[in-house]
Amino acid sequence: MLKRFSRALLIAFLLGLYFAAFSSAGAVPTASNNFELYFGPSQDRAKTIDKFFVDLIDSAKTSIDGAFFEFRLQSIVDAFIRAHKRGVKVRLVTDTDYYPNDFTTALVKAGIKVKQDNRSALMHNKFAIVDSNKLWTGSFNLTDSCSYKNNNNALCFYSKELAAIYQIEFDEMYVKNSFGITSPSTVEEQKVEISIGGEKSLVEVYFAPEDKPNEKIHELLSQAKKEIYFMHFAFTANEISDMLIDKSKSGIRVSGIFDSKLYRSTGPYSEFFKLTSADSINIVLADNPDGKFHHKVFIVDPTLPDGFVITGSENSSNNGDRTNDENVIVIHNDKVAKAYFAEFKRLFGQFSTAYATCVNLYFKPEQDIEHVSMVFNTNGKPVDKIEIGYPARWPLTGNESVRLLTIDQKPLPKGSIIFNRKGFSAVNLNLKAFGKSSFVVFDFLKMKAPKIKGGYNLYIKSASKTGDKALPLKSQPGITIADSLSNEESIHSFDQMLLKMQTSYSELLSIQENSTNSEIFEKLFKNWQNNYFEIKEVLLTDAKNRNYERIDRFLAIFVTLGAEDKKKMPGLTEGLEKILKANAAAGDEEAKSRLKKLK
């Protein structure tokens, strides 16, 4: 019987196990059963999130105040109209861009007043206040796609105090016509304690842009003691990704899921590249071919007693934080955190144990590229299929090609590469778990670097059998596009590049050790060597300024090179040696120790 449960019903059922006070799953919250949580989509059309929302609207006795980005589902429009006809006071706010559609027109014709924000920024909320005592919020738009295709979450509370907080925000928009930054902040009055599952739980609310929610999210994430998980449709907020990287470096486990479609459209503007470049952070693209991964969720310490969840309508972006009308809700309740974590784990899936490394790591905008080399290693498990997604927003001219090089020089079967619109698959590879037959080199030829600066990732999956479902790699290889690595904006890329150079050189040494074809190693080393020439000016400038932090990172790689390989970089090493000698002669003891490593 459990296999027939819809996802929304199953999550509510599981929450029922967590919350002793829960009644039947999917019920409209009441004074005694004051919280419901829903995830979608569901294969059972009788248990999709929209059905729960319609139940809420049909339960209304006196009033419904709703602020929703878009109305585009007939069943919900009908529910609003039914409520209006039975005497319920219905007031709605929506975004101007979605005001002139058939669904909004039907609401207005029925006598329901719908106010629009009349501005270019978005009225992106998705909340409703019913009878002044129930509050609905989350990531769920009132549309067919959000009901039946997109991954979403929605929450419903029975709480007069929480409803009152949202009522003030609604009245600012509907009554006072205050949208965006013109809306006053009352953030100190937006915290309540609610009993959830028999536990007194702090609930915090932040409205954008007036409350600057990203600052609070940053502060909340900094409190993580053990783990942070996130599920995000759009993620372009630098300060939040920086916090996640800092927490990961401090030993906090960080993992996340991005929407695959928006990842492809945002490309280098997304935080995907930066986060996947941090070795200890595992990121996947959502596996939802029919819809969008529409969550906006952070889950903090779900396995600890003080775990909490951050959710709502706001994507982690500057627009969401600074210009759109949004709401963010923080629920300090470990049972709610566990429920979100269960959904995260279900969607996150598994990883391949294989790994891949780009040998070329940096190019200038619109540069003509002869070769981009990537080394793939099975890392202990056989691989027969590799799926490669092209970097998002990397332009293709039609002159590109790719070839596969095996270091054991065994020819690949005819038809091993199958192209598609977003990349290609390499099949029937018969790569072994270890040894020289565990490597394959992908050589991309005649590429044109993008005009847009930023980080670009390949997205790679692998499977042990050609017919099996491919799993994503734990770390995705990437390339930086920048005018220079010496400016402040590129320092993070510079640091990542050094770390990746260290990893890729280790791979080259493995290839050199296992290969019967020295020509492959020489070609790869030549591509890898170019990375050093690109950072030459940065290192020389640092040496002149006696700033040795990045130089030490370079030297950590340099000392691992063979004698012949060191000779292939005289322009860099001689220049660095000259400056260090001058510094040492001037009494700089730190320069002397670096000189020893250069020799």
Name the token pair of 496: 């990542």
- State the pLDDT confidence band at 528, using cuts at 50, 70 and 90: confident
CB atoms within 10 A of CB 326: 26
Half-sphere exposure of 532 toward its Cβ, with a 13 Å CA cutoff? 26
User: What is d(CA 325, CA 124) in angstroms, rounded to the nearest whole number?
Assistant: 6
11 close to 37: Cβ distance less than 8 angstroms? yes
392 close to 265: Cβ distance less than 8 angstroms? yes
122 close to 95: Cβ distance less than 8 angstroms? yes
Reported as a single tens digit per residue, the pLDDT across 90-105 is 999 999 999 999 999 9
What is the average pLDDT across 190-198? 93
Helices (H), 97-153: 102-109, 144-148
Confidence (pLDDT) at 411: 74
**Length reported for the chain:** 599
Confidence (pLDDT) at 505: 77
Confidence (pLDDT) at 24: 38
Q: Which residues pair with 158 in a beta bridge?
A: 134
Q: Is 385 exposed, middle or buried (CB count within 10 Å of its CB: 0-12, 13-18, 19+)?
A: buried
User: What is d(CA 56, CA 24) in angstroms, rounded to the nearest whole number?
Assistant: 15
Confidence (pLDDT) at 71: 98
Mean pLDDT of the chain: 89
pTM of the predicted model over 0.85 = yes
β-pairing verdict for 126-130 and 63-68:
antiparallel
Confidence (pLDDT) at 31: 87
Confidence (pLDDT) at 493: 58
Confidence (pLDDT) at 280: 86
- State the pLDDT confidence band at 49, using cuts at 50, 70 and 90: very high
Reported as a single tens digit per residue, the pLDDT across 217-237 is 999 999 999 999 999 999 999
What is the average pLDDT across 154-181? 97
Name the token pair of 255: 């993992």
Active site residue 126: yes
Confidence (pLDDT) at 487: 56
Half-sphere exposure of 410 toward its Cβ, with a 13 Å CA cutoff? 13
Lowest mean pLDDT among 412-416, 475-479, 581-585: 412-416
Name the token pair of 417: 């590469």
User: CA dist 519 to 108, 196, 441, 464, 531, Å?
Assistant: 73, 66, 13, 29, 19
CA proximity to 330, closest of 152, 161, 162: 162
- H or E segment at 356? strand 355-358
Confidence (pLDDT) at 590: 92
150 close to 291: Cβ distance less than 8 angstroms? yes
- State the pLDDT confidence band at 3, using cuts at 50, 70 and 90: very low
> Per-residue b/e over 401-431, b at no fewer than 16 CB within 10 Å?
ebebbbbbeeebeeebbeeeeebbbbbebeb
Active site residue 495: no
Active site residue 84: no
Confidence (pLDDT) at 353: 94
151 close to 286: Cβ distance less than 8 angstroms? yes
Whether residue 250 has pLDDT greater than 60: yes
Lowest mean pLDDT among 20-29, 111-120, 252-261: 20-29
Whether residue 574 has pLDDT greater than 90: no
CA proximity to 273, closest of 135, 454, 471: 454
User: Out of 44, 78, 97, 131, which one is annotated catalytic?
Assistant: 131
> Per-residue b/e over 544-580, b at no fewer than 16 CB within 10 Å?
eeeebebbebbbebbeebeeebeeebeebbeebbebb
The larger pLDDT score, comparing residue 188 to residue 549, is at 188
Lowest mean pLDDT among 14-18, 275-279, 468-472: 14-18
Backbone φ and ψ for 104, nearest 5 degrees, come out as -65, -40
Whether residue 20 has pLDDT greater than 50: no
Whether residue 357 has pLDDT greater than 80: yes
What is the average pLDDT across 110-125? 97
- State the pLDDT confidence band at 259, using cuts at 50, 70 and 90: very high
β-pairing verdict for 227-232 and 253-258:
parallel
Confidence (pLDDT) at 492: 53
What is the average pLDDT across 569-597? 86
User: Which three-class secondary structure state does DSSP give residue 435?
Assistant: coil
Confidence (pLDDT) at 279: 74
Confidence (pLDDT) at 15: 47
Reported as a single tens digit per residue, the pLDDT across 417-472 is 999 988 999 999 999 999 888 999 999 999 999 999 988 999 999 999 999 999 99
Name the token pair of 479: 């390339």
532 close to 540: Cβ distance less than 8 angstroms? no
User: What is d(CA 262, CA 271) in angstroms, rounded to the nearest whole number?
Assistant: 12
- State the pLDDT confidence band at 4, using cuts at 50, 70 and 90: very low
Reported as a single tens digit per residue, the pLDDT across 465-511 is 999 999 999 989 989 898 876 654 554 556 666 777 777 877 787 88
337 close to 301: Cβ distance less than 8 angstroms? yes
User: What is d(CA 518, CA 136) in angstroms, rounded to the nearest whole number?
Assistant: 65
User: Which three-class secondary structure state does DSSP give residue 26?
Assistant: coil
The larger pLDDT score, comparing residue 410 to residue 23, is at 410
Give the strand order in the sheet containing 308-312.
Answer: 191-196, 199-208, 326-331, 308-312, 296-300, 227-232, 253-258, 281-285
Classify the C-alpha dihedral 79-80-82-86 as positive or negative: positive
User: Out of 126, 274, 295, 500, which one is annotated catalytic?
Assistant: 126
Confidence (pLDDT) at 264: 83
CA proximity to 333, closest of 37, 125, 128, 52: 37
User: CA dist 437 to 284, 409, 468, Å?
Assistant: 27, 9, 20
The larger pLDDT score, comparing residue 249 to residue 15, is at 249
User: What is d(CA 557, CA 535) in angstroms, rounded to the nearest whole number?
Assistant: 13
Whether residue 197 has pLDDT greater than 90: no
Whether residue 331 has pLDDT greater than 60: yes
User: Out of 115, 124, 232, 436, which one is annotated catalytic?
Assistant: 124
Confidence (pLDDT) at 39: 97
From first CA to last CA, the distance across the chain in angstroms is 71
- State the pLDDT confidence band at 60, using cuts at 50, 70 and 90: very high
The CA radius of gyration of the chain, in Å to the nearest whole number, is 27
The distance from CA 211 to its chain's CA centroid, rounded to whole angstroms, is 23
- State the pLDDT confidence band at 555, using cuts at 50, 70 and 90: confident
- State the pLDDT confidence band at 362, using cuts at 50, 70 and 90: confident
- State the pLDDT confidence band at 17, using cuts at 50, 70 and 90: very low
The larger pLDDT score, comparing residue 444 to residue 23, is at 444
User: Which amino acid would we find at residue 382?
Assistant: P
User: Which three-class secondary structure state does DSSP give residue 452?
Assistant: coil
User: What is d(CA 450, CA 363) in angstroms, rounded to the nearest whole number?
Assistant: 9
User: What is d(CA 583, CA 295) in angstroms, rounded to the nearest whole number?
Assistant: 54
User: What is d(CA 294, CA 146) in angstroms, rounded to the nearest whole number?
Assistant: 8
